[in-house]
Amino acid sequence: MFIRLLKYNVFNGSKSELMKYISEFSKVNIVSGNPEVLYNGLYNDLLLKNFTSPSTVIIPDGIGTLLASRIVGRPVKEKIAGIEVMEDIVKKCEKKGKSIYLLGARQQVLDRCRENLKKKYPLLNISGSHNGYFDLNDCENILEDIKSSNPYAIFVAMGAPKQDIFISQNMDKLPCRIFMGVGGSFDVFAKKVKRAPKWMIALGLEWLYRVIREPSRIKRLVLIPKFLLKVIDFNKSRSKTG
């Protein structure tokens, strides 16, 4: 059910299999394993420890990760988009009467995200929220708010690596069952940003759509070839020693 990429185990199943798998954890961190996130983890001991923990599940999110799986000769069954996993968890929480906490984005985006989620899922319990503009090393008030809200799932939308650092630093301190860094997903739910058309998503071209809509994202694409070169080098060295 997993493939090995660099130092990581990456989930290799369908989205429905993933949802069943994570339900078995008492506490789990779902990491959207795109090249940027995984590359950051190689150079940050805190992130690497968290990403390789038995309590973390890395999903193959991003064309670069799919390409990397082909390089190592074990193509993943399917790309699993983080925003789709988030929405499936939200649906489950509404159905089961479990609460969620939203952390991240600008206040205006966060407010609109909350409103739209409640419109779409009227029975959803959003037990608390806070914008993403705070010091990671001075956020006791936010941690206390999350603890008192006692959410089943917390979604952290502050971009990489900030959201991953927050989760890595505080996962053991908080009562949540599910932790998930969700990047720009609040922008999508707030309808500030649109997802790519379904045909582009199906062809693995969502990254291209996002670059066309937000040209500043092109700088982040530089990490994809760096990540793939790491995978190639790592695979070669393992072949020599193995």
Predicted local distance difference test score (pLDDT) of residue 218: 72
Q: What is the mean pLDDT of residues 115-143?
A: 97
Report residue 199's pLDDT band, with 50, 70 and 90 as the boundaries: confident
Q: Higher pLDDT residue, 239 or 46?
A: 46
Asked if pLDDT for residue 60 goes beyond 70, the answer is yes
Average pLDDT of the chain?
93
- Is the pLDDT at 165 greater than 90? The verdict is yes
Query: What is the radius of gyration, based on Cα positions, of the chain?
Result: 18
pTM (2 d.p.): 0.93
216's tokens = 């500043």
Q: pLDDT over 70 for what percent of the chain?
A: 98
**Three-class secondary structure of residue 125 per DSSP:** strand
Q: Which pLDDT score is estimated for 164?
A: 97
Structure confidence at residue 239 as a pLDDT band (50, 70, 90): low
Residue 173 token pair? 């301190």
Q: Could you tell me the pLDDT band of residue 3, with boundaries at 50, 70 and 90? A: very high
DSSP 138: S
Give 167's contacts (C-beta < 8 A, 6+ positions apart).
Answer: 29, 50, 156, 179, 181
> CA nearest 90: which of 2, 159, 188, 158?
188
Mean pLDDT calculated for residue range 209-223: 76
pLDDT of residue 213: 79
pLDDT attached to residue 110: 98
Token pair 């089961």 in the structure block, residue: 96
pLDDT in tens, 143-157: 999 999 999 999 999
pLDDT score of 126? 98
